Structure 1
């Protein structure tokens, strides 16, 4: 026991407990006691590690060290202060989390579960500390072997490098194994390819039918759901009171062809077969990582335009968006580029007076990939009519450039760009109509919630606060949120993993009602009124009916 205790650092434990107290403060997404305990254990271990590093650097610099009675007094004062801070954080953590829940319309938690949080934090810390001890023992073993054949300083440097390489290989292989298992699970659960596919449709107007160039079984479940769901002409006509068309929906699954270009060519061929270029509106959209298409976005748009619309999507991954973002980054970008370029190249050769108005759309990872694919050529040379991107991930280059061009004084979470004639922003309850000038020939819209960590995570926030933390809190964001070095970065990282668990209208859960006004602004439906917008919102708010359904 004495040997084990000698491995603890007093400064490290003090810093770790401070990190634990800081982790109890709110971030963007509510946390339950289990997740809070896990987060607390991680930051406790990280704080201990940082303390050990500070101690090592202090001694390496030969700085004075407190000893004896003075050190015992100082240590006692420090422990009393740190434990008092932890006690206050524990006391208020329940209040902070419930305040955040209430802001999102979630039922408040009935208990604080302090003991559960502390127990889990201690257990996670013990596991991580034991892992660190094993690594340290391995490093000592490597150095001791090297001491026999080379000078100590050289052995220390080489030993550090060898241990680092070994840890990298071990972590890499474990990470790849986890990723492969996640891929396999996602493939089986979300796609239902080939043998498990339901019978193909018989109507020629539906992709995957006998008349289609797209194989039904290879399309995958997200694609099959997309092309067979949504409002048809009868449902749209019943809502609008006017004659309507059956909307055209085209979806090409990843398994439908081997390369991004081959899949894009299939999508174009199916659009041609179905007469999509004779419609008033054509939307090229990029799905999320799994291939999912949000009906809350596409169904209302079909109501607005009386079904005189075609929508096309091509799948690029089977993985959940976070996995696809990390391990299949290029596949989404390559597929979106091939799809947008192929369709735009065909579209621009059509007579300008008869071709449909062309729009680009995407949600989450689909927003990132479709933004990447929408190059200057598509915006200037035979430009598209507009674009609508929801929940753009923080690495999106185009989004970042637009954000940095915001009008001085406008908030980072809902900025103003110039006079609003080209680019506008929408949020929950904000329809994107806040421009000081009328729309120009092209209309670009971003929909983002202030509480969405996928959008507002900042990879450089380890030691500096994100821009939005220096502004008044946005809708659904706790006023108690404060920046704390290192800890805030880990809180926001956990928030990203939990982002889709937030209720509709918060986090990364985008709501059908919040798509409607931005789509009206971007596509300007003929004869559409504010009263129509409110009726459609009410229609979509009735639940999981035909059209306007949510995730």
Structure 2
């Protein structure tokens, strides 16, 4: 896909340059003869074939360098041949589509020449093309929205095999719950049905440990009619399930589809021996990449409504009876986590979080998130964009698996805000500016999981980044957008139990057995 799009874009640029050059040569009466043109085409064809062969050779080396770096299986010559062939086919299809659009615009221009006075035809053509683009774009947006809803609404209404309604009163969807099982959505049903069990807690902590039943509250898009009603229902359900009686209460903003990352939820529950409550509210059933474009802003609205509702009820409790109030979000959900606290700069935003919460774990935040952008932009000189240091790390710290973390003060008072961020995560660094300039994550020093051989190419690198966004969870755990190896460490930094050590973090991480890593169902 990346190579096919790059081929089509390159063809378009080459065609434009060629036509401009031809026009200039004709104006200067320097047009080459047909013989010279034939020879030039032969030379160009040979150079092109050599370029394709050389590119395929380099591609195998580049791919295996990166794949070996991440512990993935190598590719071979068969893969290179398939890549070249499929790229050529896709590129050709895109070129044909481009030619068809060009011919349609030319026909529209000819029509303009016949209908409007000379000199205005070009302006009229441009206005017509813009108007058609707006109309077709609107129609296309509505059509895509309708198609996406028709495809994913039945998926949301379904239930994964083996997922059964829970019996525990401490989770939503049970017989005494205010939230009906059939309104939770597929992701919500998976979440409430998989709460950490007493047996799992006992297996890790031992039989002498004191446990509690974890509270899991989830409100689906079908559970109430509006965002505000869903937030109010979530608080009532949290009260019913005993969520405000737990030691730790996490306000959680799910991803676009409503997905709750199981490794993160289980990690928190095991860390605190089940004495936890997680409350979440679904705002969409579309995958995050679709939800960003079709349901723009819903994550922010849902995150703000849910937090404000929970915080209001939490504030009514006597101070010595309040649970530790923390936030969690990953990917698109991080926008909803940040939304209630955005200030004019990083200092005011962080102060807002500190004033109203006891900490936050924000994972794989989008580059365009307001607070994430503020922290990155206002970082200390010398700290890289992939691991910014703000205010000497007094409250906010960006953590990863980098063996050479920046030296910060060992004393890290609560509330703590942790951003888990890998240098190789495309979500955290994608920007349209990559079309025309090298992105900051390519600056040196580079992140520990970014190859030194990576180079920036105009347009091509931006197309590659889009491909990375689409396949963001295809990397092994610990790379790209797959943070499954670090949730326990993240929670242990934000809200550690008394006496918890780094050795305990390693032991719990191993106990949870990350396996194949994250994969949104």
TM over 0.5: yes
Structure 2 counterpart of 1:468? 441
Distance 1:178 1:197 in 2: 32
Question: Structure 1 residues 78, 111: CA separation in 2 closer, same or farther (over 3 Å shift)?
Answer: closer
Q: Which has the higher mean CA deviation after the structures are superposed, 159-168 or 435-444?
A: 159-168
Contact 2:385 2:441 (8 Å CA) reproduced = yes
Contact 1:361 1:367 (8 Å CA) reproduced = yes
Q: Does 1:391 align with 2:358?
A: no
1:227 pairs with 188, 192, 205, which one? Answer: 192
2:289 pairs with 322, 326, 330, which one? Answer: 322
- Displacement of 1:58 in angstroms is 5.9
Contact 1:431 1:517 (8 Å CA) reproduced = no
Structure 2 counterpart of 1:207? 172
For residues 148-547 of structure 1, the aligned pairs below 5 Å read 148-192=114-158, 200-241=165-206, 242-375=209-342, 379=352, 382-428=355-401, 435-511=408-484, 513-541=485-513, 543=515
Give the secondary-structure state (helix, strand or coil) at the position aligned to 1:527. coil
Aligned length: 509
Question: Structure 1 residues 394, 502: CA separation in 2 closer, same or farther (over 3 Å shift)?
Answer: same
Distance 2:326 2:186 in 1: 25
Distance 1:199 1:60 in 2: 70
- Once superposed, what is the RMSD of the aligned Cα atoms? 2.9
Distance 2:515 2:106 in 1: 62
Residues 243-300 of structure 1: per-residue CA shift (max 9 Å, x gap): 1111111111111011111000011001111221121111001001110101111111
Residues 155-209 of structure 1: per-residue CA shift (max 9 Å, x gap): 222123223433443354344323422222222224427x999764333222122
Give the secondary-structure state (helix, strand or coil) at the position aligned to 1:454. helix
Structure 1 counterpart of 2:97? 131
Residues 33-54 of structure 1: per-residue CA shift (max 9 Å, x gap): xxxxx32222222122223334
Structure 2 counterpart of 1:18? none
Question: Structure 1 residues 245, 58: CA separation in 2 closer, same or farther (over 3 Å shift)?
Answer: same
Distance 1:549 1:471 in 2: 29
For residues 55-204 of structure 1, the aligned pairs below 5 Å read 55=18, 67-68=31-32, 84-192=50-158, 200-204=165-169
Contact 2:417 2:494 (8 Å CA) reproduced = yes
Contact 1:417 1:423 (8 Å CA) reproduced = yes
Distance 2:514 2:294 in 1: 38
Contact 1:424 1:433 (8 Å CA) reproduced = no
- Displacement of 1:340 in angstroms is 0.6
Structure 2 counterpart of 1:6? none
Residues 443-476 of structure 1: per-residue CA shift (max 9 Å, x gap): 1000112111111111211111111112243233
Distance 1:455 1:139 in 2: 38
Question: Structure 1 residues 289, 420: CA separation in 2 closer, same or farther (over 3 Å shift)?
Answer: same
Distance 1:65 1:216 in 2: 78
- Displacement of 1:331 in angstroms is 1.5
Question: Structure 1 residues 94, 380: CA separation in 2 closer, same or farther (over 3 Å shift)?
Answer: closer
Structure 2 counterpart of 1:30? none
Q: Which has the higher mean CA deviation after the structures are superposed, 65-74 or 183-192?
A: 65-74
Question: Structure 1 residues 183, 433: CA separation in 2 closer, same or farther (over 3 Å shift)?
Answer: farther
Contact 1:231 1:302 (8 Å CA) reproduced = yes
For residues 15-30 of structure 1, the aligned pairs below 5 Å read none
- Displacement of 1:61 in angstroms is 7.8
Q: Which has the higher mean CA deviation after the structures are superposed, 73-82 or 534-543?
A: 73-82
Question: Structure 1 residues 82, 197: CA separation in 2 closer, same or farther (over 3 Å shift)?
Answer: closer
Flag structure 1 segments of 5+ consecutive residues without an equivalent: 1-37
2:10 pairs with 47, 50, 55, which one? Answer: 47
Distance 1:150 1:542 in 2: 68
- Displacement of 1:83 in angstroms is 5.0
Q: Which has the higher mean CA deviation after the structures are superposed, 344-353 or 250-259?
A: 344-353
Distance 2:145 2:501 in 1: 48
Give the secondary-structure state (helix, strand or coil) at the position aligned to 1:501. coil
Contact 2:342 2:370 (8 Å CA) reproduced = no
Question: Structure 1 residues 60, 177: CA separation in 2 closer, same or farther (over 3 Å shift)?
Answer: same
- Displacement of 1:386 in angstroms is 0.7
Contact 1:420 1:434 (8 Å CA) reproduced = no
Contact 2:284 2:291 (8 Å CA) reproduced = yes
Give the secondary-structure state (helix, strand or coil) at the position aligned to 2:471. helix
Question: Structure 1 residues 312, 266: CA separation in 2 closer, same or farther (over 3 Å shift)?
Answer: same
Flag structure 2 segments of 5+ consecutive residues without an equivalent: 344-348
